[in-house]
């Protein structure tokens, strides 16, 4: 791992929703001086878990403003991250580590990447994000309750072959999920109808209360067939 800069993982992966052992992976990464970057998309902006409390260095949340949290002593890794610990000519010799400490990376992204490349949210998008954060805990409580009820219903349905949800005892990551997820287990799950992809597509096309969309975290119930859309090239989940 000597050539690596970040060690990138998803805490809950898509579409199997396997849970990773953040603390063990962080130990491996930190032993070689590599920061651990955690994609926290399915954890609702930290509502389900805060990876930063379990050894992660960078946490990415799926939000219009591209949230990023950084807590690390960057001055210890001057050779690996010179852009953070050396004077920046574009900002009158500013050293991000000296000026911002453990949140140096967040400020570097904001002042350099967003300025030069773009990707920052519009004012109205930021306003909507703030509005949504006010009801995040209430919405996620309801979302996870509904997901748990539906996943258990399908898990016991005779025409369903398989259900993947971390709060089902048969899930391969059930023990890790219990260890890390103290509130709820997420609002997303996968299932396979007996009969293969064609049958699964027929089931999805027959739904009347769910919308076929690829995004997550909506106020609506969403459903998609991965093998026919974004994961069409994957032979096996």
Classified by CATH at the fold level, domain 136-230 comes out as 3.90.1150
Q: Are strands 36-39 and 160-164 parallel, antiparallel or unpaired?
A: unpaired
Q: May I ask the CATH class of domain 7-117? A: alpha beta
Structural domain spans, the chain: 7-117, 136-230
The answer to whether the beta carbons of residues 6 and 36 sit under 8 Å apart is yes
Using pLDDT thresholds of 50, 70 and 90, give the confidence band for residue 172. Answer: very high
pLDDT in tens, 86-131: 888 888 888 888 898 878 888 888 887 777 777 677 788 778 778 8
The beta strands (E) that lie in the chain are given as: 7-10, 36-39, 58-60, 68-70, 160-164, 190-193, 211-212, 222-223
pLDDT in tens, 209-228: 888 877 777 778 888 887 76
Check residue 73 and give its pLDDT.
56
pLDDT in tens, 27-70: 998 888 888 889 888 887 788 899 989 999 888 887 643 343 44
- Please report how many Cα atoms fall inside a 13 Å half-sphere around the Cα of residue 142, on the Cβ side: 9
pLDDT in tens, 120-161: 777 887 787 788 788 888 888 998 999 999 999 999 999 999
At 95, is the secondary structure helix, strand, or coil? coil
pLDDT in tens, 182-197: 888 988 999 989 987 7
Instruction: Please give the Cα distance from 206 to 210 (Å, whole number).
Output: 10
pTM of the predicted protein model? 0.75
Residue corresponding to tokens 């500013």: 94
Instruction: Please give the Cα distance from 56 to 72 (Å, whole number).
Output: 9
């Amino acid at each position: 791992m000597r050539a690596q800069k970040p060690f990138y993982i998803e805490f809950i992966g898509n579409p199997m929703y396997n849970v990773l052992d953040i603390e063990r992976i962080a130990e491996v990464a930190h032993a070689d001086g590599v920061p651990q970057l955690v994609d926290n998309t399915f954890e609702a902006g930290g509502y389900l878990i805060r990876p930063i409390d379990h050894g992660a260095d960078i946490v990415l949340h799926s939000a219009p403003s591209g949230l990023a949290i950084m807590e690390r002593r960057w001055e210890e890794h001057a050779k690996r991250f010179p852009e953070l610990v050396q004077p920046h000519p574009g900002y009158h010799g500013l050293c991000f580590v000296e000026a911002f400490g453990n949140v140096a990376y967040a400020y570097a992204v904001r002042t350099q990447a967003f300025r030069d490349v773009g990707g920052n949210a519009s004012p109205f998008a930021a306003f909507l994000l703030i509005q949504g954060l006010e009801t995040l805990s209430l919405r996620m409580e309801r979302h996870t309750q509904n997901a748990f009820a539906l996943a258990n219903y399908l898990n016991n349905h005779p025409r369903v072959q398989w259900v993947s949800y971390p709060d089902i005892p048969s899930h391969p990551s059930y023990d890790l999920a219990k260890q890390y997820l103290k509130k709820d287990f997420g609002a997303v799950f996968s299932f396979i109808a007996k009969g293969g992809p064609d049958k699964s597509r027929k089931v999805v096309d027959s739904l009347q209360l769910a919308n076929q969309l690829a995004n997550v975290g909506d106020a609506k119930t969403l459903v998609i067939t991965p093998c026919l859309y974004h994961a069409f090239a994957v032979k096996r989940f």
